[in-house]
Amino acid sequence: MVGTEAATTPAIRVAVGSAEYDRASAVLEAAREAAADVRVVETGPTGAAALAPVMLATADGRTAVHADVSPDRARELVETLDDGELPTDDAHAVVESDEGVPMPETGPLAAGQRRVLARCGWAAPAALDESLAERARDDPDDLREGVAGAGLLGRGRGDGHTDESIAEGWETARESDGEAVVVVNGNESDPAVDGDRLLLESRPAEVLDGALAVAAAVEATDVVVYLNEDDELAARRVREAVESVDAGGTEIDVVAGPDRYIAGEMTMALEAMEGADRLEARLRPPGPSEVGLYGRPTVVHTPRTLAQIRAFVAAPDEFETSAADPGTRLLTVTGDGVAGPATVELATDTALTEAVADGEEYKMACVGGRFGGITRSLDVPASAPALTGARLGTEGGVELFDGATCALEFAGARAKFAREANCGRCVPCREGSKQLVELLRDVYDGQFQPNELRELSRVVAESSTCEFGQAAPRPVTTAIDTFEREIAAHAEGRCPSGVCMETN
Amino acid sequence: MSTDHTGRAESLPSVPSIDDPRPHPPLTEHFNTGTATDPDVGARETSSLTVDGEEVSVGEEATIIDALGEVGADEELSALCYYDREDTDRIGPRSECRTCMVETDEHGLVPSCSHPAEDGMAVRTDSTEAEEARSVNLDLVLSDHNLRCTTCGKNGRCELQDAAIEADVEVPRYGVFDDRDEYEPIDESSPFIQIDRNKCILCNRCVEACNDVQVEGVLRIEGSGPDTRIGFQNGADEMMDSTCVSCGHCATVCPTGSLVEQDYTDAATIPVPGFTQENSIGETIGEDYDGQPNPATPMKGNQTYEDDALDGEADDE
Ligand code: SF4
Ligand code: SF4
Ligand code: SF4
Ligand code: FES
Among protein residues, the one whose CA lies closest to atom 8 of ligand 1: A423
- Of B69, B52, B213, the closest CA to residue B131 belongs to B52
B135 lines ligand 2 (CB under 6 A): no
Task: Answer yes or no: is B310 within a domain.
Answer: no
Q: What is the mean pLDDT of chain B?
A: 84
Helix, strand, coil content of chain B in percent (nearest 5):
25, 15, 60
Q: How far is B196 from chain A (nearest CA, A)?
A: 18
| Class (C level, CATH) for A132-317 | alpha beta
Characterize the bridge pairing of strands A54-59 and A62-66. Answer: antiparallel
Q: How far is B50 from chain A (nearest CA, A)?
A: 20
* Subunit contact A229:B14, Cβ cutoff 8 A: yes
Ligand 3 atom nearest residue B201's Cα: 7
CB A10 within 8 A of CB A59: yes
ipTM: 0.94
Structure confidence at residue B8 (pLDDT): 43
Please calculate the CA angle B115-B117-B120 and round it to the nearest 5 degrees.
Answer: 130
Q: Name the CATH architecture for the domain at A407-491.
A: Up-down Bundle (1.20)
H or E stretch including A223?
strand A220-228
Chain B residues with beta carbon closer than 8 angstroms to that of A283: 36, 38-39, 41, 93, 95, 114
- Residue A2 scores a pLDDT above 60: no
Among protein residues, the one whose CA lies closest to atom 1 of ligand 4: B79
H or E stretch including A81?
helix A71-82
Q: Which chain B residue has its CA at the smallest distance from A49's CA?
A: B1
Alpha-carbon gap, residue B114 to B131, rounded angstroms: 18
Last residue of a domain, one of B139, B168, B194: B139
Please tell me whether residues B198 and B269 are part of one structural domain.
yes
Interface of B with A in 120-139 (CB under 8 A): 129, 132-133, 136-137
Please tell me whether residues B296 and B230 are part of one structural domain.
yes
Q: For A163-198, what is each residue's pLDDT tens digit?
A: 999 999 999 999 999 999 999 999 999 999 999 999
Structure confidence at residue B304 (pLDDT): 34
For the stretch B156-163, contacts whose Cβ atoms lie closer than 8 Å and that sit 24 or more positions apart, written own/partner, are B156/B268, B157/B268, B158/B255, B158/B256, B158/B257, B159/B80, B159/B255, B159/B256, B160/B80, B160/B201, B160/B255, B160/B256, B163/B78, B163/B80, B163/B99, B163/B138
Q: Which domain holds residue B259?
A: 182-304
- Residue A108 scores a pLDDT above 60: yes
CATH number of domain containing B206: 3.30.70.20
**Sequence ranges of chain A with CATH classification 3.40.50.11540:** 132-317
* Helices A232-244 and A195-202: angle between axes, nearest 10 degrees: 50
Please tell me whether residues B216 and B290 are part of one structural domain.
yes
Q: What is the 3-state secondary structure (H, E, C) of A354-396?
A: HHCCCCCCCCEEEECHHHCEEECCCCCECCHHHHHHCCCCCCC
* Subunit contact A19:B1, Cβ cutoff 8 A: yes
* Subunit contact B15:A273, Cβ cutoff 8 A: yes
Write the DSSP string, A425-463.
--HHHHHHHHHHHHHHHHHHTT---HHHHHHHHHHHHHH
Q: For A446-464, what is each residue's pLDDT tens digit?
A: 999 999 999 999 999 999 9
Structure confidence at residue B23 (pLDDT): 72
Last residue of a domain, one of B139, B165, B191: B139
Question: Is B25 in the A-facing interface, judged by CB distances under 8 Å?
Answer: no
* Subunit contact B129:A462, Cβ cutoff 8 A: yes
- Sheet containing strand B101-104, edge to edge, reads B54-58, B47-51, B122-124, B101-104, B108-111
Task: Tell me how far the alpha carbon of residue B142 lies from the centroid of ligand 4, in angstroms.
Answer: 15
Task: Answer yes or no: is B85 within a domain.
Answer: yes
- Of A188, A298, A277, the closest CA to residue B15 belongs to A277
Cα A218 to its chain centre, rounded Å, is: 24
H or E stretch including B135?
helix B128-143
- Of B115, B259, B147, the closest CA to residue B192 belongs to B259
B200 lines ligand 3 (CB under 6 A): yes
Please tell me whether residues B122 and B236 are part of one structural domain.
no
Bond into B298 cis (ω within 30): no
* Subunit contact A463:B116, Cβ cutoff 8 A: no
Last residue of a domain, one of B139, B173, B196: B139
- Residue A482 scores a pLDDT above 60: yes
Alpha-carbon gap, residue A342 to A378, rounded angstroms: 16
Task: Answer yes or no: is B264 within a domain.
Answer: yes
Please tell me whether residues B54 and B114 are part of one structural domain.
yes
Question: Is A430 in the B-facing interface, judged by CB distances under 8 Å?
Answer: yes
CB B146 within 8 A of CB B92: no
**Helix, strand, or coil (residue A182):** strand
Q: For A355-411, what is each residue's pLDDT tens digit?
A: 997 777 899 999 999 999 999 999 999 999 999 999 999 999 999 999 999 999 999
Pocket of ligand 4 from Cβ distances under 6 Å? B 79-82, 95-100, 111, 113
- Residue A113 scores a pLDDT above 60: yes
CB B221 within 8 A of CB B204: yes
CATH number of domain containing B107: 3.10.20.740
Task: Answer yes or no: is B41 within a domain.
Answer: no
Cα A207 to its chain centre, rounded Å, is: 13
| Residue in B18, B95, B223 nearest the CB of A253 | B18
When pLDDT is cut at 50, 70 and 90, the band that residue B280 belongs to is low
Question: Is A295 in the B-facing interface, judged by CB distances under 8 Å?
Answer: yes
Q: What is the mean pLDDT of chain A?
A: 95
A5: left (phi over 0), alpha (psi -120 to 50) or beta: beta
For the full predicted model, state whether its pTM sits above 0.95: no
Structure confidence at residue B294 (pLDDT): 42
Structure confidence at residue B87 (pLDDT): 62
All residues at 6 or more sequence positions from A49 whose CB lies less than 8 Å from its CB, including other chains:
A17, A19, A20, A108, A339, A340, A341, A342
- A209 compared with A320, residue with greater pLDDT: A209
Alpha-carbon gap, residue A495 to B57, rounded angstroms: 58
Structure confidence at residue B316 (pLDDT): 33
Question: Is B15 in the A-facing interface, judged by CB distances under 8 Å?
Answer: yes
Question: Is A180 in the B-facing interface, judged by CB distances under 8 Å?
Answer: no
Please tell me whether residues B130 and B192 are part of one structural domain.
no
Other CB atoms within a 10 A radius of the CB of residue A492 amount to 8
Task: Answer yes or no: is B32 within a domain.
Answer: no
Structure confidence at residue B282 (pLDDT): 65
Question: Is A446 in the B-facing interface, judged by CB distances under 8 Å?
Answer: no
Which residues lie across from B47 on neighbouring strands?
B58
Q: For A207-241, what is each residue's pLDDT tens digit?
A: 999 999 999 999 999 999 999 999 999 999 999 99
Q: Name the CATH architecture for the domain at A11-96.
A: 3-Layer(aba) Sandwich (3.40)
Task: Tell me how far the alpha carbon of residue B231 lies from the centroid of ligand 3, in angstroms.
Answer: 11
Question: Is B5 in the A-facing interface, judged by CB distances under 8 Å?
Answer: yes
Please tell me whether residues B216 and B109 are part of one structural domain.
no
Chain A residues with beta carbon closer than 8 angstroms to that of B111: 463
H or E stretch including A469?
helix A467-471
DSSP, res B63:
B
Chain B residues with beta carbon closer than 8 angstroms to that of A251: 18
Structure confidence at residue B2 (pLDDT): 40
Question: Is A456 in the B-facing interface, judged by CB distances under 8 Å?
Answer: yes
**Helix, strand, or coil (residue A336):** coil
Question: Is B12 in the A-facing interface, judged by CB distances under 8 Å?
Answer: yes
**Sequence ranges of chain A with CATH classification 3.40.30.10:** 11-96
Highest mean pLDDT, choosing among A39-48, B13-22, B278-287: A39-48
- Residue B317 scores a pLDDT above 70: no
**Sequence ranges of chain A with CATH classification 1.20.1440.230:** 407-491
- B282 compared with A218, residue with greater pLDDT: A218
Please tell me whether residues B197 and B262 are part of one structural domain.
yes
Characterize the bridge pairing of strands A39-43 and A11-15. Answer: parallel
Write the DSSP string, A260-293.
SGGGGSHHHHHHHHTT-SS--PPP-SS-TTTS-G
Task: Answer yes or no: is B56 within a domain.
Answer: yes
Give the count of domains, chain B: 2
- Of B71, B66, B77, the closest CA to residue B55 belongs to B71
Mutate to test the pocket of ligand 3, among B202, B218, B229, B249 (most ligand atoms within 8 A of CB): B202
